[in-house]
Amino acid sequence: MNTMTIHNASRIVQAKPFTHGTGFKAFSIGQQSLGKSIHPFLQLDHYFMSQPTFGEHSHQGIAAVTYMFEDSEGSFFNQDSQGDRSFIHPGDLHWTQAGSGVRHDETPTEPGKVCHGIQMFVDLSPADKSAPASAFHLKSADIPIYTTSAGGRVRVILGTAHGITSPLRLSTPIHFLDVTVPAHQKIEHEISADETAFLLMIRGVAKLGQTEQSIQAQEAALFEPIRTTIQVQASSEEIQYILCIH
């Protein structure tokens, strides 16, 4: 029997838009907008990238994570100083665990085609911060999917949700979901008492909780640690959002 209560979001914020050169734009959320309770998540960027932009650069003490949405026109080629060479195709996830330090670069394989996805930065444990860098890749075809009776779809990219678990097991205990809900339908996600959750709307307009708080694309909602059910209902069009839980 489900004893959880449907709670409202404690905060809804607008993602901050930014551009870099002529081939990159993004909408960013993170601890600066949602607060430190989302740790170990540091920042999420909802990006659109069509040209090589950043060049080779370094990371240390974090994981730099790229998730390519299934609707992405283009793919990335990732290479790093530890020897990893990976293509990140639509629906794939690539986790660069920088550890004690790594240099990497991700570039569109076909300049001009828009790569659409999420770039995420995650803090690492002290042990992982001092360890050599490593890379982990999850192909789209290997990501398990939970489907609701109303046609809702949850890609369980990292962690566990709705009774299914991602095959990619990492030392950082987070849950990362890509959710779509058809027009006028709703979905519920159960959150444990010791977990914090936040969602970033990718497209569409939704209502949250019993009081039907409105949230739209490029806005994020925070749900503080409390044993709860997150209820998300689509309006007159299909919605998509990223849900992060830790």
Model confidence pLDDT, tens digit, residues 211-245: 889 999 999 999 987 778 999 999 999 999 999 99
Q: Decide: 188 and 230 in contact? Cβ < 8 Å.
A: yes
Task: Please report the pLDDT score of residue 1 as a whole number.
Answer: 37
205 pLDDT tier (thresholds 50, 70, 90): very high
Give per-residue pLDDT as tens, 41-66.
999 999 999 998 888 999 999 999 99
Of 33-37, 144-148, 189-193, the least confident:
189-193
Task: Please report the pLDDT score of residue 4 as a whole number.
Answer: 66
Q: Residue for token digits 């085609």?
A: 113
Average pLDDT, the chain: 95
Domain 16-141 has CATH 3.40.640.10: no
Q: How far apart are CA 97 and CA 171, in angstroms?
A: 10
Task: Please report the pLDDT score of residue 55 as a whole number.
Answer: 84
Domain 5-11+142-245 has CATH 2.60.120.10: yes
Q: Residue for token digits 């290997």?
A: 142
Domain ranges of the chain: 5-11+142-245, 16-141
Give per-residue pLDDT as tens, 74-99.
999 999 999 999 999 999 999 999 99
Q: Which residue has the higher pLDDT, 6 or 143?
A: 143
Whole-prediction pTM:
0.95
Task: Please report the pLDDT score of residue 117 as a whole number.
Answer: 98
Burial 228-238 (b: 16+ CB within 10 A, else e): bbbbbbbeeeb
